[in-house]
A and B are shown apart, each in its own frame.
Chain A
Amino acid sequence: MTPDPIIRLASVVQTLEHVVVPAVDSGNLLAVEQCGVVLAQLRMLERHMPLIGAYHALCLTDLLGVVAALPTVEGGPAAVMARCELAEACAHEDDPRIAFHRVGRALEGLVRAMAQDGEPAVRSAIDAAVLAFSIRQARRARSWFQDAGFDHDADSLPTVEAMVAGN
Chain B
Amino acid sequence: MQTQAQRLAQEPVAAIDRDAIEPRLLEILLAKQERRKLGPYIPRTAPDIAEGLSVLFAREGIAAQARGARRMGGGASKEQFVFDVEGEIDPAFARCVLRMDPREGIIETCRRREAQVLRAVAGVVPVPPVLTEDGDGETMGQPLMVTGFVGGVTKPSDSGAGPSGLKARFGESLGAALTSQFIGHLAAIHAVDYRTAGLDDFAVPRPETTDAALWQVNYWTRVRALEETDSLPLLTLAETWLYDHLPVCEQPVLLHGDYRVGNFLFDEERQEITALLDWELTHIGDFHEDLAYSFEPLFGHRDADGVFHVGSMFTTEHLISRYEALTGRMVNPATLHWYRVLTSYKLIAMNHCSSIIAARDGTNHQNALLAFLASCTAGMSDTLCELLSGEMA
Q: Known A131-B388, A151-B378; judge A113-B233 contact (CB<8 A).
A: no
Q: Are A148 and B369 in contact (CB under 8 A)?
A: no
Q: Known A41-B368, A131-B388; judge A101-B71 contact (CB<8 A).
A: no
CB neighbours of A17 from chain B (8 A): none
Decide yes or no whether A81 CB sits under 8 A from chain B.
yes
A-contacting 9-mer, from B3-11, B114-122, B212-220, B280-288: B3-11
* Contact with A37, one of B3, B5, B368, B385 (Cβ below 8 angstroms): B368
Q: CA–CA, A141 to B43, complex, Å?
A: 31
Nearest-CB residue, chain A, relative to B73: A29
Decide yes or no whether B381 CB sits under 8 A from chain A.
yes
Q: Known A108-B231, A142-B382, A145-B378; judge A41-B71 contact (CB<8 A).
A: no
Contact pattern, A 26-62, Cβ under 8 Å of B = 1, otherwise 0: 0011101110011011000000000000000000000
Q: CA–CA, A113 to B240, complex, Å?
A: 10
Contact pattern, A 76-116, Cβ under 8 Å of B = 1, otherwise 0: 01100110110000000000000011111111111111011
B240-294 CB contacts (< 8 Å) to partner A: 240, 243-244
Contact pattern, B 338-374, Cβ under 8 Å of A = 1, otherwise 0: 0000000000000000000000000001101101100
Nearest-CB residue, chain B, relative to A33: B73
Decide yes or no whether A152 CB sits under 8 A from chain B.
yes
Q: Are B381 and A137 in contact (CB under 8 A)?
A: yes
B72-121 CB contacts (< 8 Å) to partner A: 72-74
CB neighbours of B366 from chain A (8 A): 30, 33-34, 37
Question: Shortest CB–CB separation between residue B377 and chain A, in angstroms?
Answer: 7
Q: Are A37 and B372 in contact (CB under 8 A)?
A: yes
Q: Are B393 and A124 in contact (CB under 8 A)?
A: yes
Nearest-CB residue, chain A, relative to B379: A151
* Contact with A104, one of B233, B244, B369, B384 (Cβ below 8 angstroms): B233
Decide yes or no whether A6 CB sits under 8 A from chain B.
no
Decide yes or no whether A3 CB sits under 8 A from chain B.
no
Q: Are A108 and B368 in contact (CB under 8 A)?
A: no
Q: Are A131 and B9 in contact (CB under 8 A)?
A: no
Residue of A148, A151, A152 with most chain B CB atoms under a 10 A cut-off: A152
Q: CA–CA, A124 to B129, complex, Å?
A: 52
Q: Known A29-B72, A128-B392, A152-B302; judge A40-B372 contact (CB<8 A).
A: yes
Q: Are A116 and B13 in contact (CB under 8 A)?
A: yes
Q: Are B71 and A107 in contact (CB under 8 A)?
A: no
CB neighbours of A124 from chain B (8 A): 392-393
Q: Are A138 and B5 in contact (CB under 8 A)?
A: no
Decide yes or no whether A130 CB sits under 8 A from chain B.
yes
Q: Are B368 and A104 in contact (CB under 8 A)?
A: no
Q: Are B233 and A138 in contact (CB under 8 A)?
A: no
Decide yes or no whether B389 CB sits under 8 A from chain A.
yes
Q: Are A109 and B6 in contact (CB under 8 A)?
A: yes
Q: Are B236 and A78 in contact (CB under 8 A)?
A: no
CB neighbours of A29 from chain B (8 A): 71-73
* Contact with A150, one of B5, B231, B376 (Cβ below 8 angstroms): B376
Q: Known A41-B372, A124-B392; judge A138-B385 contact (CB<8 A).
A: yes
Q: CA–CA, A29 to B393, complex, Å?
A: 51
Q: Are B371 and A109 in contact (CB under 8 A)?
A: no
Q: Are B9 and A130 in contact (CB under 8 A)?
A: no
Q: Are B240 and A138 in contact (CB under 8 A)?
A: no
Q: CA–CA, A139 to B382, complex, Å?
A: 7
Q: CA–CA, A85 to B230, complex, Å?
A: 18
CB neighbours of A111 from chain B (8 A): 233, 236-237, 240
Nearest-CB residue, chain B, relative to A28: B71
Nearest-CB residue, chain B, relative to A147: B375
Decide yes or no whether B162 CB sits under 8 A from chain A.
yes
Q: Are B382 and A34 in contact (CB under 8 A)?
A: no
Question: Shortest CB–CB separation between residue A126 and chain B, in angstroms?
Answer: 9
Q: CA–CA, A153 to B243, complex, Å?
A: 30
Decide yes or no whether B28 CB sits under 8 A from chain A.
no
Q: Known A138-B382, A152-B302; judge A127-B368 contact (CB<8 A).
A: no
Q: Known A128-B392, A151-B378; judge A82-B5 contact (CB<8 A).
A: yes
Nearest-CB residue, chain A, relative to B382: A138
Q: Known A116-B9, A130-B234; judge A138-B381 contact (CB<8 A).
A: yes
Q: Known A130-B234, A139-B382; judge A115-B8 contact (CB<8 A).
A: no
CB neighbours of A11 from chain B (8 A): none
Decide yes or no whether B188 CB sits under 8 A from chain A.
no
List the 8 shortest-distance A-B pairs measured between CB atoms, nearest first. Answer: A104-B231, A141-B378, A82-B5, A78-B8, A134-B234, A29-B73, A145-B375, A124-B393
Given A115-B9, A134-B233, A137-B381, 11 more pairs with CB closer than 8 A: A37-B372, A77-B8, A102-B231, A108-B232, A108-B236, A111-B233, A115-B240, A115-B243, A138-B381, A144-B378, A152-B382
